[in-house]
């Protein structure tokens, strides 16, 4: 299924973003990486990614707000979101799910664990009809 799938990766930590972007690209995904929520929100509707990997601790617009805005927008509301954060407290995980994220992963996260979560959400996503 990879190779046809476009991912939006949003993480303000450049080394983390670049590492995951390289890994996911090597796995056949088309990855659009962003360092902040403002840029990601500005591009989400036109990119129409199949899935968003979203750091919650963004400096401009935090990931919770990015998720809420994506889920309120008719053009992006059905895009699955993986919350990706160093915050592992249960209430923060619940808050991410309430904001519209489908899965919460705690960083540091082995790339293969992220890939499993991506594959799970993409397999569950209804396929668009031509």
Q: What local confidence, expressed as pLDDT, does residue 130 receive?
A: 38
Select 9-87+96-123's CATH number: 3.40.50.450, 3.40.50.2300, 1.10.10.10, 3.30.559.10. 3.40.50.2300
pTM for the full predicted model:
0.91
In angstroms, the CA 86 to CA 79 distance is 22
Ranges of each domain in the chain: 9-87+96-123
**pLDDT (tens place) for every residue of the chain, 130 residues total:** 445 799 999 999 999 999 999 999 999 999 999 999 999 999 999 999 999 999 999 999 999 999 999 999 999 999 999 998 887 778 888 889 999 999 999 988 999 999 999 999 999 976 643 3
Q: What local confidence, expressed as pLDDT, does residue 92 receive?
A: 83
Q: In what order do the strands lie in the sheet with 6-10?
A: 30-34, 6-10, 51-55, 81-85, 103-106
């Amino acid at each position: 299924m990879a190779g046809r799938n476009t991912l939006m990766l949003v993480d303000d930590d450049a080394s983390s973003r670049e590492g995951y972007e390289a890994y996911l690209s090597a796995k056949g995904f088309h990855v659009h990486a962003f360092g902040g929520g403002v840029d990601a929100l500005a591009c989400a509707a036109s990119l129409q990614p199949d899935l968003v990997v979203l750091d919650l601790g963004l400096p401009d617009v935090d990931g919770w707000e990015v998720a809420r805005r994506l889920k309120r927008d008719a053009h992006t509301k059905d895009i699955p979101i993986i919350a990706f954060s160093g915050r592992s407290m249960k209430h923060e995980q619940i808050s991410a799910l309430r904001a519209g994220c489908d899965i919460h992963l705690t960083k540091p996260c082995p790339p293969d664990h992220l890939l499993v979560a991506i594959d799970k959400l993409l397999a569950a996503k209804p396929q668009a009809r031509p």
